[in-house]
Structure formats: structure tokens, C-alpha cells
């Protein structure tokens, strides 16, 4: 286990590279991750520093891409003070103005799990997560050592969407959102990011961290529509030149 030179000092943490595995975003590619340990020492403050260095979390597992011959995964964030919604995004905001957001505890709820399963089967069938058990779901989304929030979005008493976010000292990190895949004409995914941007502004936090963007991955394409968008490249956060 070694510290890499492009990381700020984390005197209590160690970093190791995983064994190679098949990339879930670019077919035919081999991926590896760099993992930060021990997990119990990664509190909100430490995790915020790791996010600035390009890390993300899955449950209590904190990682970033560390592939041998690929640098396609770019950590991205929205500087919320400069963000201006596009026309389609304004329409999505208006379309879902009836959604009621409520923060809930980070606890398992059968209704949430049922919605998660429907979302995975409809949007990511065959990706593995559509087979997640209750324990796998809970480990992925409900286990956290940082300041995490579970937000439930309902409309006329019907659960439509769930978002998990982490609140850091310089922004909100969008962990995962799943929603009703059967509602016709919906734009829940777009709405959730716009809602998170408004929360950043309400809390006077400058950034919304959106995880990784991959130019040639259709799953990641939506992130490029929230501009301006900054990417961590060669150790520096830089504004991306996107059409």
C-alpha cells in the first residue's frame, strides 16, 4: 500500500490498488480502482478532502479509478453560482413542481427497495444491480460514515424518487438517485440534479459533485448538460470545453 504523489497528505490513511476487473462503462476495457482505508477513519471532513482529489464512495468503500492504460473517467462538479439551466431543464423543473421532498433517516424501507428494484430492471437490466438483495442494497446506499442524507420525493402521496447525497464542507456530493421508471413523460433524473443545485445554493455551498463523467459512455452523457462543468484533470479542477 502506498500514498501517491498527487494526493494531499492523509497521514492516517493507506491506499491500495485492486485487482483488474471488467469495466462496467466501456465494453472490453479492464479497470482497476484505488481504495482508501481504513474505512472507519474516513469521516465527513476527510471524505471531503478525498472527493476533492477525485474519490467517490459506495457504502463505506471509498475509491477512485486507477486503471493501467485508461484515463477516461473524469471527476466532475458543477460550480453552482455559474450554472444556468437550459430550456429543457427549466421544463423538467416545471413539470415536476408538484414533487414534495422530505428527508428521512438512513434506514431500510421496503417501499424504497421496491422502487429501487423496478428502476434497476427498467434502466439497468443485466448490469448486476438489478439482482441486488436487500442486504446489497443497504450496503450500497444506506451504510455511511459521513454526513449523508436520504431524500424522498412524493407526488400526491405516491413515492416517485429517492436521492442519497453527502453534505461536505464545500458542496454536496450526489451519491445515487433512483426513481419511478414507469411515469410517462417524466424527467426525474434531471429534476433531482436541479434540486441538488438549489440545495447547494440554499446552504451556500459552491459545488455539486456528480461523480465521474466518461465521454464515450452513454450512461454518463447526461452530466455534460449541466454547464459550466469542471473536471479534475492532471490534479487540477478545470472548466471543461463542451458543446
Highest mean pLDDT among 76-85, 128-137, 213-222: 76-85
Residues 87-134: tens digit of each pLDDT: 999 999 999 999 999 999 999 999 999 999 999 998 876 555 657 899
- In DSSP notation, 73-96 reads -EEEEEEGGG----HHHHHHHHHT
Average pLDDT over residues 229-237: 93
Q: Grade residue 7 by pLDDT with cuts at 50, 70 and 90.
A: low
Average pLDDT over residues 222-229: 95
- Work out whether the CA dihedral 167, 173, 175, 179 comes out positive or negative: positive
Residues 30-44: tens digit of each pLDDT: 999 999 999 999 999
Report whether 71 contacts 216 (CB < 8 A): no
What does the alpha-carbon distance between residue 210 and residue 72 come to, in Å, rounded to a whole number? 15
Report whether 149 contacts 165 (CB < 8 A): yes
- Residue 1: is its pLDDT beyond 50? no
Q: What is the pLDDT of residue 2?
A: 35
Q: What is the pLDDT of residue 111?
A: 98
What does the alpha-carbon distance between residue 197 and residue 84 come to, in Å, rounded to a whole number? 11
Task: Provide, for the chain, the percentages of residues in helix, strand and coil under a 3-state DSSP scheme, each rounded to the nearest 5.
Answer: 30, 30, 40
- Mean pLDDT of the residues in the chain: 92
pTM of the model: 0.94
- Residue 242: is its pLDDT beyond 80? no
- Residue 141: is its pLDDT beyond 70? yes
Q: What is the pLDDT of residue 3?
A: 38
Amino acid at each position: 500500500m502506498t500514498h501517491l504523489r498527487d494526493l494531499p497528505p492523509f497521514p492516517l490513511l493507506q491506499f491500495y490498488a485492486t485487482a483488474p476487473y471488467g469495466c462496467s462503462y466501456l465494453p472490453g476495457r479492464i479497470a482497476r480502482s484505488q481504495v482508501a482505508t481504513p474505512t472507519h477513519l474516513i469521516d465527513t471532513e476527510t471524505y471531503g478532502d478525498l472527493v476533492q482529489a477525485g474519490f467517490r464512495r459506495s457504502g463505506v468503500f471509498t475509491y477512485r479509478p486507477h486503471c493501467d492504460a485508461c484515463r477516461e473517467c473524469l471527476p466532475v462538479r458543477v460550480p453552482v453560482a455559474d450554472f444556468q439551466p437550459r430550456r429543457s431543464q427549466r421544463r423538467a423543473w416545471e413539470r415536476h413542481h408538484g414533487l414534495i421532498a422530505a428527508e428521512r433517516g438512513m434506514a431500510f424501507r421496503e417501499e424504497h427497495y421496491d422502487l429501487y428494484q423496478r428502476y434497476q430492471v427498467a434502466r439497468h437490466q443485466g448490469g448486476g444491480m438489478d439482482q441486488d438483495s436487500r442486504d446489497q442494497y443497504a450496503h450500497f446506499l444506506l451504510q455511511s460514515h459521513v454526513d449523508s442524507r436520504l431524500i424522498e420525493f412524493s407526488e400526491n402521496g405516491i413515492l416517485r424518487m429517492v436521492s442519497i447525497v453527502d453534505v461536505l464542507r464545500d458542496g454536496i456530493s450526489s451519491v445515487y438517485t433512483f426513481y419511478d421508471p414507469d411515469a410517462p413523460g417524466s424527467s426525474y433524473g434531471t429534476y433531482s440534479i436541479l434540486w441538488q443545485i438549489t440545495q447547494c445554493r440554499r446552504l451556500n455551498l459552491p459545488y455539486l459533485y456528480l461523480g465521474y463523467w466518461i465521454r464515450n459512455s452513454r450512461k454518463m452523457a447526461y452530466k455534460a448538460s449541466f454547464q459550466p462543468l469542471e473536471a479534475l484533470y492532471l490534479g487540477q479542477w478545470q472548466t471543461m470545453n463542451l458543446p
